Amino acid sequence: MDFDSLTENYFKKEMRVKVIGRYYPSEAGQCLRKSYYSFINPKEIDLELTKIFEAGNIVHDFVSKVFKSDKNPDVEVLESETSFEIPVDDFVISGRIDNLVLFKGEEKKVLVEVKSTKSVDYLDGPQESHIMQLQLYLHARKMQEGVLVYVEKNTLKSKTFPVTYNPSIYEVIINRFKKLHEHLKSSSTPDPESRLLEDKKWMCRYCNYKTECFQETPEVGLTKFF
């Protein structure tokens, strides 16, 4: 039996073509040029990356089971995988909230966003892109408090970081989506921001559009890709 082949068959599916005017929270902290390319030149997701996403789904399911367990009576899951939409001008941002949890002892409702990771040992704070995602969720539900839960895939160790709704950050996010929308409507490629910002250059290493990006503007930012 070749289980790898069975797994590959399991993950085969039609490529989802994105529609201009409908955007997703996971794109909020993404390089604008990468987001732009994903609309005008959609690619199939690499099989290994698909497997990583599936491992993340398994971790999320585990976290939901922990919250819902009768061994944790002080925690109640009020909602799970709830869809939402935020209309903005002539486009919409749509997504799904992982969990809305009630902590009974404090009578406090919190939005929980779960992220899987290789290791939590070196995490001293949440990723900016994850904060941006959660800000959209908080705005959509008109809530003030959320948490990002990072779970180590191999050990299920975790670290949790509170996130408070910040309208200033929300406005930055919306302006980024407006900018992306305008570039897509006018068919004009955004600047390669990950190559221009020191703290975001690492994104180029994992970008599946790095070849197209460097061919279009080889003189901007980094002089080579990894």
The region, left, alpha or beta by phi > 0 then psi within -120 to 50, assigned to residue 221 is left
pLDDT at 3: 78
Mean pLDDT over residues 134-153, rounded?
A: 95
Higher pLDDT, 4 or 128: 128
pLDDT at 199: 82
Given the DSSP bridges, would you call strands 108-117 and 145-152 parallel, antiparallel or unpaired? parallel
Each residue's pLDDT tens digit, 153-208 = 889 999 999 999 999 999 999 999 999 999 999 999 999 988 888 888 888 888 88
What's the rounded Cα separation, in Å, for the pair 185 and 20?
A: 8
Higher pLDDT, 214 or 174: 174
Hey, where are the domains in the chain? 41-186, 191-217
- What is the sign of the dihedral through the CA atoms of 65, 71, 75 and 78? positive
Given the DSSP bridges, would you call strands 75-88 and 22-23 parallel, antiparallel or unpaired? unpaired
Instruction: Identify the CA nearest to 193 among candidates 28, 24, 34, 40.
Output: 34
pLDDT at 225: 45
Higher pLDDT, 6 or 84: 84
Residue 111 exposed, middle or buried by CB count within 10 Å (0-12, 13-18, 19+): buried
Torsion of Cα atoms, 105 then 62 then 51 then 95, to 10°? -40
| pLDDT surpasses 50 at 116 | yes
- What is the sign of the dihedral through the CA atoms of 142, 84, 151 and 117? negative
| pLDDT surpasses 60 at 224 | no
User: Who contacts 181 (Cβ-Cβ below 8 Å, separation ≥6)?
Assistant: 20, 21, 23, 89, 90, 91
Mean pLDDT over residues 117-135, rounded?
A: 93
Mean pLDDT over residues 76-93, rounded?
A: 93
pLDDT at 171: 97
Most confidently modeled range among 3-12, 37-46, 213-222: 37-46
pLDDT at 20: 96
pLDDT at 5: 76
| pLDDT surpasses 60 at 226 | no
pLDDT at 203: 86
Report the percent of the chain where pLDDT is more than 70: 94
Mean pLDDT over residues 93-117, rounded?
A: 91
| pLDDT surpasses 90 at 145 | yes
What's the rounded Cα separation, in Å, for the pair 224 and 58?
A: 36
DSSP string of 23-50, one letter each residue: E-GGGTTS-HHHHHHHHHS--PPPHHHH
Longest Cα pair distance anywhere in the chain, in angstroms? Answer: 59
| pLDDT surpasses 80 at 212 | yes
Q: Are 142 and 97 in contact (CB under 8 A)?
A: no
CATH architecture of 41-186: Alpha-Beta Complex (3.90)
